[in-house]
């Protein structure tokens, strides 16, 4: 097991190096560049040239990349000249907010998707199943920002139950759970809608399959109560492939967070990424991509490890 984790971690290294190269090259293909963004629109070409030289942006790419990578290995993600802050500090400030948002969204998705999928599979082809399937399809096709806007229009503007956006009530400085939770509800619902739909479809499909298996029929035949067959027998088998799916959702959630955080003015990674992209803040963009890729790789690894925990038939060799 330990050996498996270690080997997977070793295999992750080339992937992460690949991510840094792709991002690095991509960012340097961009027209303009940070020097121009930093110097401002009115800067003379000479001023831009000076800044370019000071930032080392006039050196060849491989050299710039090597400098950046060796700093990274020393725990230095670079410095955002536009924000005048180390990239690591910027990310450290935003990452917990996004992880909280994503965690809430994942928890909400599972809490809805699993029971819904199980019940649909149990009552398959019933009116409820068909209606729910159609509703899930609509949710799956939802443009996220439209859904978010509708939520704001209904729950924040019309009913005034929940805040329009932000992290917590502006005039409170202390950490306030009820306020935080209220501010988290609408963004998390927006972020969760698509994964919720995808997952409930998946759980339904895989439960239907498991309920057809011989062991499920045997369990019913020997007189076990329905709920026991459903939750003790078939769900445990149906949920296993779902775990891999969960691990693979991390990048999509990070992507979804860009839109969601924009709608709700939620100060997380997504917002930082979008702001950095518009500011051409390359150092921050690079740092964020690397951190996100690390989280994605870890997410996949965790899914693989959990796979073995839930399915004792899996052996790591």
Partner 1 sequence: MTEAAEEPRSRRLRITFVAALGMLWIAAAAIACAAGPSVLHVNAYATDVAHAYDAPSRVHALGTDGLGRDELARLLQGGRITLSVGIVAALVSMFIGTVYGAVSGYYGAWLDTLLMRVVDVLLSIPTLFLLLLLAAMFHGSLLALMLVIGATSWLGPARLVRGEVLTLKERLFVEAARSIGAANSRIIFRHVVPNAAGTIVTTTTFMIASAMLAETALSYLGIGVRAPTPSWGNLLSSAQSDIFAGAWWLIGPPGLAILLSVCAFNFVGDWLREST
Per CB under 8 A, residues contacting partner 1 are 14-16, 18-19, 22-23, 26-27, 29-31, 134, 137-138, 140-146, 149-150, 153, 205, 208-209, 212, 251-252, 254-256, 258-259, 262, 273-274, 277-278, 285, 288-289, 292-293, 296-297
Residue 46 or 278: the one with the smaller Cβ distance to partner 1 is: 278
Residue 237 or 262: the one with the smaller Cβ distance to partner 1 is: 262
Q: How far is the CB of 99 from partner 1 (least distance, A)?
A: 14
Per-position b or e across 267-285, b if 16+ CB within 10 A of its CB: bbbbbbbeebbebbbbbbb
Distance (Å, whole) CA 286 – CA 76: 12
Determine contact, residues 264/186, Cβ cutoff 8 Å: yes
Q: How far is the CB of 284 from partner 1 (least distance, A)?
A: 12
Strand partners, 80: 85
Residue 279 or 311: the one with the smaller Cβ distance to partner 1 is: 279
Residue 168 or 256: the one with the smaller Cβ distance to partner 1 is: 256
Helix (H, G, I), strand (E, B) or coil at 86: strand
Q: How far is the CB of 173 from partner 1 (least distance, A)?
A: 30
Q: Residue 47: which of 34, 36, 32 has the closest Cα?
A: 36
Torsion over CA of 8, 10, 11 and 17, rounded to 10 degrees?
140
Q: How far is the CB of 20 from partner 1 (least distance, A)?
A: 10
Residue 26 or 71: the one with the smaller Cβ distance to partner 1 is: 26
Residue 27 or 112: the one with the smaller Cβ distance to partner 1 is: 27
User: Which phi and psi (to 5°) does residue 268 adopt?
Assistant: -125, -165
Q: How far is the CB of 278 from partner 1 (least distance, A)?
A: 7
Q: How far is the CB of 198 from partner 1 (least distance, A)?
A: 11
Distance (Å, whole) CA 88 – CA 110: 31
Q: Which is it for the CA torsion 178, 180, 183, 188, positive or negative?
A: negative
């Amino acid at each position: 097991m330990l050996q498996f984790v270690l080997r997977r971690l070793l295999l992750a290294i080339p992937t992460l190096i690949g991510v840094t190269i792709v991002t690095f090259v991509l960012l340097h293909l961009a027209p303009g560049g940070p020097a121009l963004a930093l110097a401002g629109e009115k800067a003379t070409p000479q001023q831009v040239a000076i800044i370019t030289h000071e930032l080392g942006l006039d050196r060849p790419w491989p050299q710039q990349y090597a400098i950046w990578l060796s700093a990274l290995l020393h725990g230095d993600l670079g410095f955002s000249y536009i924000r005048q802050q180390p990239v690591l500090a910027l990310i450290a400030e935003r990452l917990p907010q996004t992880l909280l948002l994503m965690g809430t969204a994942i928890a909400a998705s599972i809490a809805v998707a699993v029971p819904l999928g199980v019940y649909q599979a149990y009552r398959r082809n019933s009116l409820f199943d068909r209606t729910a399937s159609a509703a899930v399809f609509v949710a799956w096709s939802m443009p996220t920002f439209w859904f978010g806007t509708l939520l704001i229009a209904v729950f924040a503007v019309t009913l005034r139950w929940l805040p329009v956006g932000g992290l917590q009530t502006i005039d409170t400085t202390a950490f306030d759970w009820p306020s935080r939770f209220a501010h988290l509800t609408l963004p998390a619902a927006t972020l969760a809608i698509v994964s919720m739909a995808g997952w409930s479809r998946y759980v339904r499909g895989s439960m239907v399959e498991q309920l057809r298996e011989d062991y499920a029929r045997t369990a019913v035949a020997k007189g076990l109560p329905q709920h026991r067959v459903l939750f003790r027998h078939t769900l445990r088998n149906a949920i296993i492939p779902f775990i891999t799916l969960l691990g693979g959702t991390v990048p999509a959630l990070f992507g979804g967070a860009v839109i969601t955080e924009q709608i709700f003015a939620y100060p997380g990674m997504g917002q930082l990424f979008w702001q950095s992209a518009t500011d051409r803040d390359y150092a921050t963009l690079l740092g964020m991509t690397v951190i996100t890729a690390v989280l994605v790789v870890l997410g996949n690894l965790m899914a693989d490890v959990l796979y073995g925990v839930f399915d004792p038939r899996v052996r790591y060799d």
